[in-house]
Structure 1
Amino acid sequence: MNYHINDLPERTVKPRNSGLTMVMDKGLSLRQAEDFIEVGGEYTDLIKLGWATSYVTPKLDEKLSLYREAGIPVYFGGTLFEAMIVRGQFDDYRRILDKYKLQHAEVSDGSITIEHDEKCEYIRKLSEQVTVISEVGSKDVQKIFAPYKWIKLMTAEIEAGSWKVIAEARESGNVGIYRDSGEVRQGLVDEILTQIPEESIIWEAPQKAQQVWFIKLIGANVSLGNIAPADVIPVETLRLGIRSDTFEHFLKG
């Protein structure tokens, strides 16, 4: 940090197990990626190349090398996994992970219907190859899961080998754990946290109000996902209570 301020929340240090900031890269150029790393790399723990953008991203090898050299793990969005699974290309998907020297993979079923036992089997197989992050929840706004089902799915995926489970919200933040207005389904989150350790969950929170809500609920070291590159520094100030939205929350006395 550039100077000292008393009594700020203590942040975990990289490599973190909690307090992760997962950034969504939806198509940054190499120059933009370099600029992002210069400013936000210190505060970024994971980078997801959103959905299947890796298929059409120019100079993909060079971009992955930039992130790798900066010490930031990167992985392809779960929709790529789904696009290949539905076409019977699981082995091809595994070869892609090796080809691009990826150490993480996302397993999701937000766009396709798949038996959960089958999804867990994919998690088991991939966990022998890479660190698996699995996503729970549908991208379909009409599909609303009861809290007990979220807990059941998350528990099974962690037991199958997921390092972290992601609570689905899409890049827009209006499905899954949120209402279509972007408001948090508070009762759902409270129920999930009665059974699933908070350090096992990455909450997708692309909107500032959502980030503030989770920081106030869980603390500075809540894991947040789908953060826009331009929002990494603002999110870190929210975590530390040096932005108006969380300013009073972290004051002592």
Structure 2
Amino acid sequence: MNYVLKNLPVRTEKPRVTGFTMVMDKGLSLREVDNFLSANSDYVDIVKLGWATSYLTKNLAEKIQLYQDAGVPVYFGGTLFEAFVIRDQFDDYRKVLEKYDLRFAEISDGSISLPHEKKCEFIRILSQDVTVLSEVGSKDAAKIIPPYKWIEQMQKELDAGSWKVIGEAREGGTVGLFRDSGEVRQGLVEEILTKIPEEKIIWEAPQKEQQVWFVKLLGANVNLGNIAPNELIPLETIRLGLRGDTFDHFLGDHRL
């Protein structure tokens, strides 16, 4: 850091298990990736190449190498997994992961109808090759999943071999964990936390207000995902109480 401020919350250090930040790359160029890493590599833990953007990305291998050389793992968005599975190309998907030397993969069913036991079977198979992140929740705003179902699915996916489970919000933060206004489904989150350890969950929270809410609820080292590249340092200031939204949250008695 550039200077000393007392009484800031202690952030975990990389490689992190908690305080984990997943950034969504929706099509950055090689130059943009290089610029992003030069300013942010200390704060990003993993990068998701959003949904199936990797299918269209130029210089994909070079982009992945840039991230990996900076010590930042990369994975393909879960929608790409779904696109392969719906076409009966799961084995082809595994070959693509191997081709690009990816050590993480996301398994989701937000856009397709997939029996949960089948999803768990994919997790069991894929976790033999890579570290699996599995996403729970639908991308359909009209599909409301009751809390007990979220809990049941998260636990089964962790038992099947997922390293962490991701709470669905899409890149806009208006489905799954959130109402279409972006408001957090507070009761849902609190009920999930009665059964699933918080360190096992990555909460997709692309909007600033959502990030603030989770930091106030769970502290500086909450796991957050779907963060835009240009919002990563702003998020760190929220985590540390160095932005107006959380300025007083971590001060305690240490104030004038």
Where does residue 108 of structure 1 map in the other structure? 108
Where does residue 141 of structure 2 map in the other structure? 141
Aligned residues: 253
Where does residue 30 of structure 1 map in the other structure? 30
**SS of 1:250's equivalent?**
coil
Paired residue type of 1:179: R
- After superposing on structure 2, the runs of 4+ consecutive aligned residues of structure 1 that deviate more than 3 Å are none
Where does residue 41 of structure 2 map in the other structure? 41
User: Aligned partners of 2:207 and 2:40: how far apart in 1?
Assistant: 18
User: Aligned partners of 2:7 and 2:125: how far apart in 1?
Assistant: 45
**TM-score under structure 1 normalisation?**
1.00
1:46-65 alpha-carbon deviations (Å, 9 max, x no partner): 10000000000000011001
- Residue 231 (structure 1) aligned with residue 231 (structure 2): yes
User: Aligned partners of 1:100 and 1:32: how far apart in 2?
Assistant: 20
User: Aligned partners of 1:63 and 1:41: how far apart in 2?
Assistant: 14
Which consecutive unaligned segments of at least 5 residues does structure 1 have? none
User: Aligned partners of 1:111 and 1:58: how far apart in 2?
Assistant: 25
| CA deviation after TM superposition for structure 1 residue 150, in Å | 0.3
Where does residue 17 of structure 2 map in the other structure? 17
RMSD of the alignment, in Å?
0.4
Where does residue 170 of structure 1 map in the other structure? 170
Where does residue 214 of structure 2 map in the other structure? 214
1:83-139 alpha-carbon deviations (Å, 9 max, x no partner): 000000000000000000000000000000000000000000000000000000000
| CA deviation after TM superposition for structure 1 residue 252, in Å | 1.9
User: Aligned partners of 2:228 and 2:39: how far apart in 1?
Assistant: 13
Which consecutive unaligned segments of at least 5 residues does structure 2 have? none
**SS of 2:244's equivalent?**
coil
Where does residue 53 of structure 1 map in the other structure? 53
User: Aligned partners of 2:116 and 2:47: how far apart in 1?
Assistant: 26
Where does residue 244 of structure 1 map in the other structure? 244
Paired residue type of 1:112: I
Paired residue type of 1:34: D
User: Aligned partners of 2:74 and 2:223: how far apart in 1?
Assistant: 16
Where does residue 188 of structure 1 map in the other structure? 188
User: Aligned partners of 2:75 and 2:127: how far apart in 1?
Assistant: 14
User: Aligned partners of 1:133 and 1:40: how far apart in 2?
Assistant: 23
**SS of 2:133's equivalent?**
strand
| CA deviation after TM superposition for structure 1 residue 40, in Å | 1.1
User: Aligned partners of 2:94 and 2:61: how far apart in 1?
Assistant: 17
**SS of 1:194's equivalent?**
coil
- Residue 122 (structure 1) aligned with residue 122 (structure 2): yes
Where does residue 73 of structure 1 map in the other structure? 73
| CA deviation after TM superposition for structure 1 residue 166, in Å | 0.3
